[in-house]
Structure 1
Amino acid sequence: MNRSLGATLIAVAVALSAAPASAQTVVRVANWLPPQHPLFAQIIVPWTEQVEAATEGRVDMQILDAPLGPPPAHFDFAVNGVADVTFGVHNYSPGRFTATKLGEMAFLCEKSAYLSPAWWRIHQQYFADLNEHRGTKLLGIWTHGPGQLWTRNRDVTSLDAIKGAKIRIGGGFAQDVSQALELTPIQAPVTKAYEILSGGVADGIQFPAESVTAFKVDEVLTQGLIVPGGLYTASMFLVMNQAKWDSLSAEDQAAIESVSGEALAKLAGKVWDEADDKAFEKIEAAGKITLVTPDDAEMTAIKAALKPYEEKVLADITAKGVNGQEAYDALVAEIAKVKAGD
């Protein structure tokens, strides 16, 4: 073999061996959370690793090093292709999502591990055709654990006692809860929670247990109203830019779906519950926060106060063309199925 032909064959072999690497599809994943936060570290990061494994390396998930902007902007980042994949909280985009408020309602479930898979199933069954996530491919929906009311030097043993309390609130159904309980809402970024509580700007905050310790407000809180099933939850999403999704092969789309959807909801539920359990253990060990469970009379009063707001959520969903009461009843039934191991 002459030398030039041998060199040519070697060059071709090298090029062919490099072909799989060059055929990789890079998917840019945005993040707005601290790297140690459970939502990012234990849900999003493992999911990206599962995608790479499921696609046998054909899809390269690249998590961006710095936040692209504030959390509420992340759904639009996916729609507009600023990032390929984003995650966030539905109620960060008021007015955009109506149906997702169903998964945020009070008293639904004591564990995200039950609610999250049930919520994914019901969303796909009842609400997928509403196309509220248009411009993206919806890859996952789940919720955090039960949201509760926490205060600093403010009694939570009765509705009369907490009436008028200045509370830092979230969006979605959490806002409805604040109106129903006649609280005075304080709008502030969650990152300012410690500052506004320690400085007396707010009397309390709405949080799942995990966030109480994650944002270190357990150091300044004195009471927690722990309502069975929670006063609210927050519905969350994971989406991919639609054009990016359409550019993937059918094989890779199927591989990604195999680790998304209900599988992702189950992972998220497990992570949130473990984080909540650890938070409660820390809170109880420290002994600084008195945990109050409403008695029967107070539960009756709380439910009565929230009922008109729950009815409005269902009416708003019905106005979108889906029977709200039917969807709610189906969600409750689906939660029971998940609890039973179905």
Structure 2
Amino acid sequence: MIAFTTRLFKGAVAATALLAASAQLSSAETLTMSSWVPPTHFVHTDFLVPLTEKIAEATEGRVTVMILPAPLASPPQHWELARTGVADITWGNFTYEPERFVSMWFAEFPNAGTNAEAQSRALWQTYEAYLADNAAFEGVKMLAVGMFGGGQLHHGKKTVTTPADVANQKFRMGGPIQEKLLTALGAVPVAAPATKAYEMLESGVVDGSLHTMESVVNFRLEDVLKHHTVFPKGFYDATFFVAMNGAKWDGLSDADKAAIEGVIGEELSAAWGRNFDAQNPAATGKLEAAGHTFAEATPELIAAVDAIQATMVADWVEAAKAAGVADPQAMLDFYNTTYTTLAGQ
């Protein structure tokens, strides 16, 4: 009788544990993530996948993230995918919607820096201090923001170091800041995504293209871009987001939201930057080993870019005020001071 009772008790304990496990499984939340880079890209392997793992670990498996096998829309539509809930989490480039994100233009101007981790941390702190309540960002929970450590000028056939070298040359570019910059320098901007750069360069449609160093390698442009002009503080930059649908975020339990808060925000933004800080020097080393030409922009070219930047900032201050930023200059000064401090640590 005692043995039977013991077996009955053990069976009841096992059944209770099974029911508890089943209840936890049924209450688990699976979030969908839409991404537009291939699964071999470092953003996928070194940033997005670790993010999914951190969320699952932080919530003890109660919240998991599934990266969809194919993007649900083109890259410029990924903010809307998150805002409207078509996908729970997305990432993308603020530059793809320049009119919506006028407030972010300041971080894409020349001289924004070349330390991507410091940039990304500084941009997160700036977002939290000045932009979190801006109407442009309504409808999402911002998980991270990031930058890529300074884009540079690349040419297929010659070394470009002076304003005269840039004049009348056709450069592929990807956004309005780059367009204004090239136009002011007397170059001919040609808008196209980076994925089109190879065929445009090979066919002679453009003479050069704007990229980070890692982008030259990751888009396999080594054979068509052999001359690289380096601006010590960056020729231009780009701003990125990782965002979650606001309603989906609100629907998570308080415990899970608190757990996820520990792996997003400034630390996730820093992780974004660290990946680019690893990729850019590695790409430079590969290009140097292949015999590519590297040259620093001359003081004359840097001065020309600085003058253009000053005009850009003045114009942006007025545009940002119209976009709901109370004191754009103070926000820019905050970013610059924060970046300088972080980069020096």
**What TM-score do the two structures reach when normalised by structure 1?**
0.93
Structure-2 separation of matches of 1:167 and 1:54:
45
**Letter paired with 1:57:** G
Structure-1 separation of matches of 2:314 and 2:149:
22
Which SS does the other structure have where 2:51 is aligned?
Answer: helix
* Alignment match of 1:311 (pick from 296, 314, 330): 314
How far 1:157 sits from its partner (Å)? 2.0
Q: Structure 1 residue 117 and structure 2 residue 124: aligned?
A: no
Partners of 2:103 and 2:325 within 8 A in 1: no
Which SS does the other structure have where 2:133 is aligned?
Answer: helix
The verdict on how the C-alpha distance between 1:13 and 1:45 changes in structure 2, with shifts beyond 3 A counting, is closer
Q: What is the CA deviation profile of residues 4-60 of structure 1, one whole-angstrom value per residue up to 9, with x for unaligned ones? A: 9x9999766533331111111111111110112122221111111111111111101
Partners of 1:177 and 1:231 within 8 A in 2: no
> 241-250 vs 172-181, which deviates more?
172-181
Which SS does the other structure have where 1:219 is aligned?
Answer: coil
Partners of 2:110 and 2:305 within 8 A in 1: no
Q: Structure 1 residue 57 and structure 2 residue 57: aligned?
A: no
> 178-187 vs 236-245, which deviates more?
178-187
Structure-2 separation of matches of 1:108 and 1:93:
20
Q: What is the CA deviation profile of residues 172-205 of structure 1, one whole-angstrom value per residue up to 9, with x for unaligned ones? A: 4222222222221212232111111111111111
Q: What is the CA deviation profile of residues 244-295 of structure 1, one whole-angstrom value per residue up to 9, with x for unaligned ones? A: 00100111112112111100111111110110011000011111x3112122
Structure-1 separation of matches of 2:113 and 2:135:
26
Aligned to 2:170: 166
> 151-160 vs 18-27, which deviates more?
151-160
Gaps of 5+ in 1: none
**Letter paired with 1:316:** A
Structure-1 separation of matches of 2:73 and 2:276:
25
Aligned to 1:290: 293
How far 1:333 sits from its partner (Å)? 0.7
Structure-2 separation of matches of 1:13 and 1:161:
73
The verdict on how the C-alpha distance between 1:10 and 1:112 changes in structure 2, with shifts beyond 3 A counting, is closer
Which SS does the other structure have where 1:132 is aligned?
Answer: helix
Partners of 1:172 and 1:234 within 8 A in 2: no
The verdict on how the C-alpha distance between 1:305 and 1:9 changes in structure 2, with shifts beyond 3 A counting, is closer
Structure-2 separation of matches of 1:52 and 1:182:
51
Partners of 2:142 and 2:242 within 8 A in 1: yes
How far 1:154 sits from its partner (Å)? 3.9
* Alignment match of 1:68 (pick from 72, 77, 86): 72
Partners of 2:175 and 2:191 within 8 A in 1: no
The verdict on how the C-alpha distance between 1:267 and 1:299 changes in structure 2, with shifts beyond 3 A counting, is same
**What TM-score do the two structures reach when normalised by structure 2?**
0.92
Which SS does the other structure have where 1:35 is aligned?
Answer: coil
Structure-1 separation of matches of 2:94 and 2:233:
20
Aligned to 1:85: 89
* Alignment match of 1:336 (pick from 337, 340, 345): 340
Gaps of 5+ in 2: none
Matched pairs, number: 339
Partners of 1:151 and 1:222 within 8 A in 2: yes
How far 1:337 sits from its partner (Å)? 2.0
Partners of 2:143 and 2:243 within 8 A in 1: yes
Q: Structure 1 residue 22 and structure 2 residue 26: aligned?
A: yes
Aligned to 1:263: 267
Structure-1 separation of matches of 2:142 and 2:18:
39
**Letter paired with 1:55:** T
The verdict on how the C-alpha distance between 1:21 and 1:161 changes in structure 2, with shifts beyond 3 A counting, is same
The verdict on how the C-alpha distance between 1:267 and 1:7 changes in structure 2, with shifts beyond 3 A counting, is closer
Aligned to 1:106: 110
After superposition, residues 158-307 of structure 1 pair within 5 angstroms as: 158-287=162-291, 289-307=292-310
Structure-1 separation of matches of 2:268 and 2:134:
22
How far 1:218 sits from its partner (Å)? 1.5
Which SS does the other structure have where 1:65 is aligned?
Answer: coil
Partners of 1:119 and 1:331 within 8 A in 2: yes
Partners of 2:32 and 2:87 within 8 A in 1: yes
**Letter paired with 2:288:** E
**Letter paired with 1:334:** T
Aligned to 1:37: 41
Which SS does the other structure have where 2:35 is aligned?
Answer: coil
**Letter paired with 1:58:** R
Q: What is the CA deviation profile of residues 199-220 of structure 1, one whole-angstrom value per residue up to 9, with x for unaligned ones? A: 1111111101110011111111
**Letter paired with 1:315:** E
Q: RMSD between aligned alpha carbons? A: 2.1
**Letter paired with 1:138:** M
Partners of 1:84 and 1:240 within 8 A in 2: yes
Partners of 2:121 and 2:269 within 8 A in 1: yes
Structure-2 separation of matches of 1:306 and 1:60:
43
Which SS does the other structure have where 2:44 is aligned?
Answer: helix
